[in-house]
Chain A
Amino acid sequence: MNAWIIAVITVIVAPFIGGLLAGIDRRITARLQGRFGPPILQPFYDTFKLFGKNRIAVNWGQFMWIYFYLLLMITALLFLVLRLDILLLMFILGFAGVAFALGGFSSKSPYSHIGANRELMQMLAYEPVLLLLALGVYAQTGSFMISQIYASPTPLIARLWPIFIALLVILTIKLRKSPFDIATSHHGHQELIKGIMTEFSGPYYAMINITEWYEIVLLLGIVSLFVATPGLWWLGIIIALAAFVLELFIDNIAARMTVGWMVKFAWSVGLTLCILNLIWFWVFAKGVS
């Protein structure tokens, strides 16, 4: 298929998938908590309502950073669907996070400021793992191109399962789920109001929601890469959905931890798993050529 067509379809369809997942998230979470929960389409209703609100602002800069956040997230997702360089994808995803943090920093609001600082700490926690994931892909396939992952006969998970576990840890941070919903949370956030989101409102808050939907699709897409083999496309969807539901369970059984604990945990477990995995490649498998 033509790359342009794939790109256009992705940009249009991805937010619907992401929004639906967010709706499922709310429904399952409600059931886990003994509530009935909102309709599956509730995230869409919420977002449309936000788009109808008047624009209010604390400064001009926050709008620019939201555009950066949204557009870079879409770019990162396009890198995935067009099967381009995974290392560059990680860098772009990284800067999307930076742009969001800068949006939080842009106003002199204590809540959003602390939230933004925590967002940076989250990045410090997950960024090395995401980059090491890319190095792992290289170690196994001999290329950073995502197209090579699809072309290779053995799925990544066969030899990269420690990195896969690290990815699941990181996914909890990225999806803002407990115990790592530290910068902001989808649930009531006791000590920081809405954290980094505090000063975003109206249509621009809606844009952030949509960006998060793109992000869910992107992250689950990266999860699905681990089982990508020629011919078994449905396996990726199953493993991605399983990972998503797993995150929901973790979210509901865990309490929020502190920033320092998160960084220590992500580095000691995530980073260690990744590096052990890569050392194994280097010493025994010699997959690197």
Chain B
Amino acid sequence: MLPYNWMMAVAILLPVVAAILIFIIRQYHVRGLIVILAAIALIVNSVLFLLHGKDTFSPANAQMWDMVVTVLDYLILLFYIYVGISLKNWLVLIFALTQIIPLAWFEFGMGGRAALAQVNPTFVVDHLAIVMCLVISIVGSLICVFAIRYMYDHEHHQHLEKSRQSRFLFWMVLFLGAMNGLVFANNLIYLYFFWEVTTLICFQLIAHDLTKEAIGNAARALWMNSIGGTAMIIAMIILFANGAQLSLNAIIGGGVVSAVLLVPVALMCFTGMVKAAQFPFQSWLLGAMVAPTPVSALLHSSTMVKAGVYLVLRLAPAYAGTKLGIMIALVGAFTFMAASGLAISQTTGKRVLAYSTIANLGLIIACAGINTPLSIAAAILLIIFHAVSKGLMFLNAGAIEHIVWSREIEDMEGLAAKAPLVTVITGIGVLSMFLPPFGMLLGKWLALESASSVVPLAAWMFVIASAATIVFWAKWLGRLFQVLPKLGSKIESLSLSYSVPLVALVLCIFGAGIFVAPIYTGFVQYAVADVISSGQALAASGWGGLAVSGISPVSSTANFPIGNYPVWPLFIVIAIAVLIPLIFIAVKPGELRPVYLCGEQVGGVDADEWYSTADAKVKVQLGGYYFQGVLGEAALNPWTYTLSIVLMVIMFAVALLAMGGAL
């Protein structure tokens, strides 16, 4: 097995090296090969982390790395200032200044740098971090592989003079390294650094196509996430001023923080919420969909937004049982409800996916806020399943876009006849979001079971969101599978760069769905235990607690309800429902009939025209319901913004009151 420092290097530095090579080598095949090799290395490495189990790590020449991080931090922030000035976007400029000035004052004026240098260890890799690393490395790498071919087709369609694929893949691969660093970081300045790197890459990727809209949306993502970055710096300053150690372990190690430190915890949770696009900050993620589809796939599934929920989840012990926790649960639950409702009114496929992502992130954050072993288990399972399903669906949305050259759901009518393979894979992706045995529903079920006793108001919001979720997914699926009475549609052929990631993700969905019980008992419950009682026991334990010492699986209360969810019987039911028709029903041409059009059909069985007035031939046109008057953004957003801002204000108010009471 690889030495541990090598594993850390592969996780964080290998993507950097690979990205630079990709940027330099401008030859399609060689570049593609590097992406594939990097992907394989990252996937294997993440499995090594899984086998190795919990550990800590501090780089050998710490001073040099501290220096590198500091220099890069300020370079990034200076770049934001440059962006703000060159785009004349004052919000970007203001929120860059609110980061760089306090940061410099804190590090050099207050003497924060010395305190930061003392933090030991620099990285803590516990089971939650390993879960994240697996998600990032597997799902993220597959998306990068998909992007090789996708960007080729994308530019082919755009008729670009000069290829920008190298630049695109550079940022994509770099993203994986930054995310790995983020989830491993223990030292707050490292956390902040990787946080800023993801913000930067997100900006670069959204702006990739350089249209006016792309640049505008990228700038919005930048300034919104800069607000989050500012909050993290303020949190560091308050921690430092109160004499707390500047590491995540120190914040969460002693269970619930003292009332004085509740404010920095609230600030850091806020930082996570911004990145996780919680209301009222959802617009940056919605805007991000102007970017080429692999970007959306990466942002929505394994990186960026998952960093946000990771941080909130990571801090869970610090606000356990406080009013702050309840408010976090309510902010998340409200986002879940509002985003699910808004998703019904969306006519664009990618926007439906985006709202669904926001909704599910809300659910995960709400689970963190509820903060029982059961809800933390729900949150971790949701992170895993959501990454796989959403990664798959965005890649599919990209593949569909390259078939129908549209993102509108109405244009996807009858896709099952045009592109059966992509449609079936999309169907699997969508069904995995809400069909009973699959993981997402398991997570939602766990969330509801845990919410109802702790934060009932959140549970009620979950219920309404759940109902809305059914409607928008079913509506979309209905459009895809709406076909004319015709037999023998040809299965389309896909480039390997498309089909391999798609098939791999489908296998992940089924694998993780069917084997959720062993995955939970063998691994996820240790992550749950780590989240709840983190920082206390840092003994190594890998898969199934191979070398367990000082760590125990979470109590049987968290185990028990999953036993009530009969995963395998439900999968068998679903399999029978699919296999019986597949094996026994072969529709013969003679059995086909036209649909009922009051006898006014034109032509044969598969005609979709009818005789209208004066025998004019009119095509049958069908459309989904969108209820834009009631559930549209124009109708709902005044309410969602007001309520979500009120919730966030109350969230800070409870933290401030706690601090005021303590002082």
Contacts of B441 in A (CB 8 A): 91
Contacts of A101 in B (CB 8 A): 474, 478
Is B54's beta carbon under 8 Å from chain A? no
Q: State whether A91 touches B564 (Cβ < 8 A).
A: no
Write out the residue numbers on chain B whose beta carbons fall within 8 Å of the beta carbon of A145. 564
Cβ of A102 and Cβ of B481 under 8 Å apart? Answer: yes
> When chains A and B are docked, how far (Å) is the Cα of A131 from the Cα of B580?
31
Write out, one digit per residue, whether chain B residues 273-308 have a CB within 8 A of any chain A CB (1) or not (0): 000000000000000000000000000000000000
Query: Among the listed A71, A112, A127, A139, which residue makes an inter-chain contact with B470, where contact means beta carbons less than 8 Å apart?
Result: A127
Q: How far is the CB of A101 from chain B (nearest CB, A)?
A: 6
With the chains together, A123 CA to B486 CA distance in Å? 30
A113-151 residues with Cβ-Cβ distance < 8 A to B are: 113, 116-117, 120-121, 123-124, 127-128, 131-132, 134-135, 138-139, 144-145
Q: List 14 A-B contacts (CB under 8 A).
A: A58-B594, A58-B595, A72-B573, A75-B569, A87-B445, A92-B570, A95-B470, A101-B478, A110-B620, A117-B625, A127-B467, A131-B467, A193-B596, A198-B596
8 cross-chain pairs, A with B, having the tightest CB-CB distances, nearest first = A105-B478, A109-B595, A127-B467, A131-B463, A67-B577, A64-B581, A68-B577, A63-B581
Point out the residues of chain B lying under 8 angstroms from A134, CB to CB: 448
Inter-chain CA distance A54–B587, complex, in Å, is 12
B436 located at the interface, meaning its Cβ lies under 8 Å from any Cβ of chain A in the complex: yes
Partner pick for A199 among B452, B595, B624, CB 8 A cutoff: B595
In chain B, what residue has the closest Cβ to A101?
Answer: B474
Tell yes or no: B503 within 8 A of A by CB: no
B495 interface contact, C-beta 8 A: no
Question: By the criterion CB–CB under 8 Å, are B587 and A121 in contact?
Answer: no
Interface residues of B in 472-512 (CB under 8 A from A): 473-475, 477-479, 481-486
Residue of A at shortest CB range from B444?
Answer: A91
Which residues of B, 128-170, contact A by the 8 Å Cβ criterion?
A: none
Residues of B within 8 A of A121 (CB): 471, 625
Closest to B594 in A: A58
Most buried by A among B435, B569, B576: B435
Residues of A within 8 Å of B574, CB to CB, are: 68
Q: Which residues of B contact A58 (CB under 8 A)?
A: 485, 592-595
Q: Which of B111-119, B359-367, B378-386, B453-461 contacts A (4 or more CB under 8 A)?
A: B453-461
Which positions 78-124 of chain A face chain B at CB distance < 8 Å? 84-85, 87-88, 91-92, 94-95, 98, 101-102, 104-113, 116-117, 120-121, 123-124
Q: What chain A residues lie within 8 Å of B620 (beta carbons)?
A: 108, 110
Interface residue A275 (Cβ < 8 Å from any Cβ of B): yes
Q: Does B573 lie within 8 Å of A75, measured CB to CB?
A: yes
| B530-581 interface with A by 8 A CB criterion | 564-566, 569-570, 573-574, 576-578, 580-581
Find chain B residues with CB under 8 A from A144 CB: 449, 564
Question: Do the beta carbons of A113 and B622 come within 8 Å of each other?
Answer: yes
Tell me which residues across on chain B come within 8 A of A87, comparing CB atoms: 445, 448-449
List residues of chain B with CB within 8 A of the CB of A56: 591-593
- Contact for B482 among A113, A124, A139, A198, CB less than 8 A: A113
Shortest Cβ gap from B571 to chain A (Å): 11
* Cα–Cα distance between A232 and B477 once the two chains are bound (Å): 45
**B436–A123 contact, CB under 8 A?**
no
State A95–B581 Cα separation when bound (angstroms): 18
Whether A282 contacts B456 in the complex (CB less than 8 A), given A67-B577, A95-B436, A127-B467, comes out as: yes
The interface residues of chain A lying within 8 Å CB-to-CB of B581 are 60, 63-64, 67
Query: Is B414 interfacial (CB-CB < 8 Å)?
Result: yes
A59 engages B483 (CB within 8 Å): yes
Q: At the interface, yes or no: A187 with Cβ under 8 Å from chain B?
A: no
A88-B445, A108-B608, A121-B625 given; A135·B452 CB < 8 A: yes
**A278 touches B (CB below 8 Å):** yes
Query: Count of A residues near B, CB < 8 Å?
Result: 61
User: Which residues of B are found within 8 Å of A60, using beta-carbon distances?
Assistant: 581, 585, 587
Give the distance to chain B from A285, nearest Cβ to Cβ, in Å. 12
B597 close to chain A: CB less than 8 A: yes
Note all chain A residues with C-beta closer than 8 A to B467.
Answer: 123-124, 127-128, 131
> Is A190 close to B, CB under 8 A?
no
Query: Please, how many angstroms separate the alpha-carbon atoms of A55 and B586 in the complex?
Result: 11
B34 at the interface (CB under 8 A from A): no
| Residues from chain A with Cβ under 8 Å of B591 in the complex | 54-57
Closest B residue to A127 by beta carbon equals: B467
Q: How far is the CB of B66 from chain A (nearest CB, A)?
A: 50
**Residue B343 at the A interface, CB < 8 A?**
no
Provide the residues of chain B in CB contact with A105, threshold 8 Å. 474, 477-479, 481-482
* Known contacts A101-B478, A108-B484, A145-B564; is-contact A135 B577 (Cβ 8 Å): no
In whole angstroms, how far apart are the Cα atoms of A106 and B423 in the complex? 13
State the CA gap A61–B564 with chains docked (Å). 32
Residue of B436, B464, B478, B595 near A88 (CB, 8 A) is: B436
Main secondary structure of the interface of B (DSSP, over half): helix
Interface centre among A59, A112, A113, A124 (most CB of B within 10 A): A59
Residue in B closest to A54 when the chains form the complex, CB atoms: B591
* A2 located at the interface, meaning its Cβ lies under 8 Å from any Cβ of chain B in the complex: no
Told that A108-B595, A139-B452 touch, could you supply 19 new A-B pairs with CB distance under 8 A?
Answer: A58-B485, A58-B594, A61-B416, A72-B436, A72-B573, A87-B448, A87-B449, A88-B445, A91-B444, A92-B436, A95-B436, A98-B470, A106-B483, A108-B483, A124-B471, A128-B466, A199-B595, A278-B460, A282-B456
Contact of A131 among B466, B573, B578 (CB under 8 A): B466
| A residues less than 8 Å from B449 (CB atoms) | 87, 138, 144
Q: Please tell me if the beta carbons of B625 and A88 are within 8 angstroms of each other in the complex.
A: no
Minimum Cβ distance to chain A for residue B630 (Å): 9
In the complex, whether A288 has a CB less than 8 A from a CB of chain B is: yes
CB neighbours of B597 from chain A (8 A): 109-110
Residue interface mask A182-210, B partner, CB < 8 A = 1? 00000000000100001100000000000
Option from B459, B566, B573, B593 in Cβ contact (under 8 Å) with A135: B459
Q: Tell yes or no: B468 within 8 A of A by CB.
A: yes
> With A68-B577, A75-B570 known to touch, is A288 a contact of B479 (CB < 8 Å)?
no
Residues on the A chain within 8 Å of B416, using CB: 61
**Are A120 and B475 CB-contacts (below 8 A) given A63-B581, A91-B445?**
yes
B592 proximity list for chain A (CB < 8 A): 56-58
A95–B482 touching, CB < 8 Å: no
Q: Mark B593-616, 1 if CB is under 8 A from A, else 0.
A: 111110000000000100000000
- What are the residues of chain B within 8 A of A128 when measuring CB–CB? 463-464, 466-467
The docked-state distance in angstroms from the alpha carbon of A86 to that of B395 is 35
Q: Assuming the A-B contacts A56-B591, A58-B592, are A72 and B577 also in contact, with contact meaning beta carbons closer than 8 angstroms in the complex?
A: yes
Give the residues in chain A near B436, CB-CB below 8 Å: 72, 88, 91-92, 95
Write the chain A residue with the least CB distance to B475: A120
CA distance A72 to B479 in the complex (A): 22
Cα(A59)–Cα(B484), bound, Å: 7
Closest Cβ–Cβ distance, residue A278 to chain B (whole Å): 6
Shortest C-beta distance, A167 to chain B (Å), equals 15
Residue of B nearest to A119 (CB): B474
Asked whether, in the complex, the Cβ of B463 is within 8 Å of the Cβ of A123, the reply is no
In the bound complex, do residue A71 and residue B445 qualify as a contact, i.e. CB atoms below 8 Å apart? no
How far is it, in angstroms, between the C-alpha of A288 and the C-alpha of B436 when the chains are bound? 26
Task: Give bound CA distance, A132 to B457, whole Å.
Answer: 11
Question: Is there a chain A Cβ closer than 8 Å to B652's Cβ?
Answer: no
Report the Cα distance A131→B466, complex, angstroms. 9
B367 to chain A, nearest CB (A): 16
B240 contacts A by Cβ under 8 Å: no
| Chain B proximity of A91: nearest CB distance (Å) | 5
B414 touches A102 (CB 8 A): no
Q: Which listed residue, A67, A135, A271, touches B456 by the CB 8 Å rule?
A: A135
Cβ of A110: which chain B residues have Cβ within 8 Å of it? 597, 620, 622
Nearest residue, chain A, Cβ from B484: A108
**A58, A138, A271, A288, most chain B CB atoms within 10 A:** A58
> Are A107 and B453 interface neighbours, CB within 8 A?
no
- Shortest Cβ distance from B198 into chain A, in angstroms? 35
Chain B 5-48: CB-based contact to A (< 8 A → 1; otherwise 0): 00000000000000000000000000000000000000000000
